[in-house]
Amino acid sequence: MLGDVPEKARKLHFNAPHGEISRRDLFHSLVPKYQVIPYIESLKCVGERCELCRQSCAFDAIVVDDGGVSIDSLACRGCGVCIDACPRGAIVHPRFSLNQLNAELEGLLLDDGNSPQPRIVAMVCQSSRHSSGDSDSDIFKHAPNFLPMEMPCLSMASPWLMLRAFDLGAQGLALIYESEKCQFRFGSEKWQGTVQFVQALLNHWGIQPERVSFFEERNLEQELLNFGRTIAELAPISLRSPVPVGFPAESLPLSALIRGMGERLGETHVGTISAGVVPFGKLTLDSSRCTGCGLCAADCPTGALKAMPGRDSCGLAFHQERCVACGLCIKVCPEVCLKLERMLELDKLGGSPQTVMKGDFVWCEVCGAPVAPRAMVEKIRARIGAMGGNTSRLEMCPDCKMRTKPGSARSRVGV
């Protein structure tokens, strides 16, 4: 039923017949059907300042124009890759929201303890013949401890979703896909980097990385049975607290989950994860080149970089747990003074923002209005001076510059 699905998330389509079909099947193929696709919550979206969703889409279905950002329903295939790409949670899939995915995992894993052990979550691409839509598939009947969870594309298997499965009691995670049938033109390379990051984090916590593995359709039944035996031979994951991490109401669910799982495992919040496609970034700034213009902070879609204005100073603060390593700050920096690495420093999660730049601010020597950061003024002074230009009015606001002749005596208004 589509009663709870917004109109903008409904895509009308017809099933295209393949090969020879009967007249009956031909008429059935002409019956229109609705496909549920993602939509954008405009109040959360920062528009053209970001465009990460557009860059992630393989079908050019994200439209960015003067009216904001929207999804072209005709081009959209409903894969959901853009959902994980959005750092602000502005893209919603009515059937695969974070709340719904969390509820499905809880339904699979939080039971009375009588289900077959060890419990292994099997995330299955809907294009696979072993998805729930294929009545011929009975592979999971032979492996009752495998708990299938279907999704539009395995690219939706985010680090949060994989880690949440372990937090709720899974002992293994199998990702099942069929590259030849992938309607979204994605191979496993699209999400292998995410798997590598999760494996590296688990390994840092002392959890065997081989608990996460992906499988293609060929010889799948035997490979899954072998995987199940491998997991059964491992000691159960030891968690100090039997209570899973609370589902976060905050806007940083992955950071909260990593912190919470570390505490449940009795791990200290130290160490660095750099393997795979790390969904966090570490930013360093060359203070000798930075002029404090603030363009990087203005364009940061997550608030990881923020300007620190003051009466006599200016600065920049960086909060790593908010950084998604999008690189937009690098692109807009006119001084090329920023360096970004995909890296997670565990001690930075939940901590205070780090001051990466601090300097003096220049105020108009005539009226006291704000002018610019001292570093910017001095850089301009050096350039103009090198060309033999007049620098006498650099520390004036635009209005006072208009009222004062170059080289004339200056005094504060009212003096």
pLDDT surpasses 50 at 158: yes
Q: What is the largest CA-CA distance in the chain?
A: 95
CA 304 to chain centre: 13
Percent of residues, the chain, with pLDDT higher than 90: 50
Residue 179 has pLDDT above 80, yes or no: no
Q: How confident is the model at residue 230 (pLDDT cuts 50, 70, 90)?
A: very high
80-135 pLDDT, tens digit each = 889 888 888 899 998 888 889 999 999 999 876 677 889 999 999 877 665 554 54
Phi and psi torsions of 278, nearest 5°? -75, 130
Sign of the CA dihedral running 322, 324, 330, 332:
negative
Q: Among 22-31, 282-291, 294-303, name the one with the lowest average pLDDT.
A: 22-31
- Taking the model in full, what pTM does it have? 0.85
Neighbours of 313 (CB within 10 A): 14
CATH 3.30.930.10 assigned to 7-92: no
Nearest Cα to Cα of residue 170 among 97, 228, 249 = 228
Rounded CA-CA distance 306/299 in Å is: 10
Query: Rounded mean pLDDT of the chain?
Result: 85
pLDDT grade for 413, boundaries at 50, 70 and 90: very low
Q: Give the whole-angstrom CA distance, residue 163 versus residue 205.
A: 12
DSSP string computed for 243-304: SPPPPP-SS-HHHHHHHHHHHHTT--S--EE-SSS-S-EEEEE-TTT-----HHHHH-SSSS
Give the number of other Cβ atoms within 10 Å of residue 28's Cβ.
12
Question: Domain 281-359: which topology?
Answer: Alpha-Beta Plaits (3.30.70)
Out of 268-272, 301-305, 402-406, 410-414, pick the least confident.
Answer: 410-414
Question: Which segment, 105-114, 297-306, 309-318, is predicted with the most confidence on average?
Answer: 297-306
Check residue 36 and give its pLDDT: 86
Q: List the domain boundaries for the chain.
A: 7-92, 98-233, 281-359, 364-403
Question: Given this model, what pLDDT does residue 405 score?
Answer: 74
| Nearest by Cα to 70 from 139, 143, 6 | 6
**Phi/psi zone of residue 19: left (φ > 0), alpha (ψ -120 to 50 degrees), beta?**
left
CA distance 111 to 197: 29
Instruction: Identify which of 243, 204, 242, 210 has the alpha carbon closest to the alpha carbon of residue 346.
Output: 204
Q: How many CB atoms lie within 10 A of CB 369?
A: 12
Is there a shared CATH topology between the 7-92 domain and the 281-359 domain?
yes
Between CA 191 and CA 184 the distance in angstroms is 13
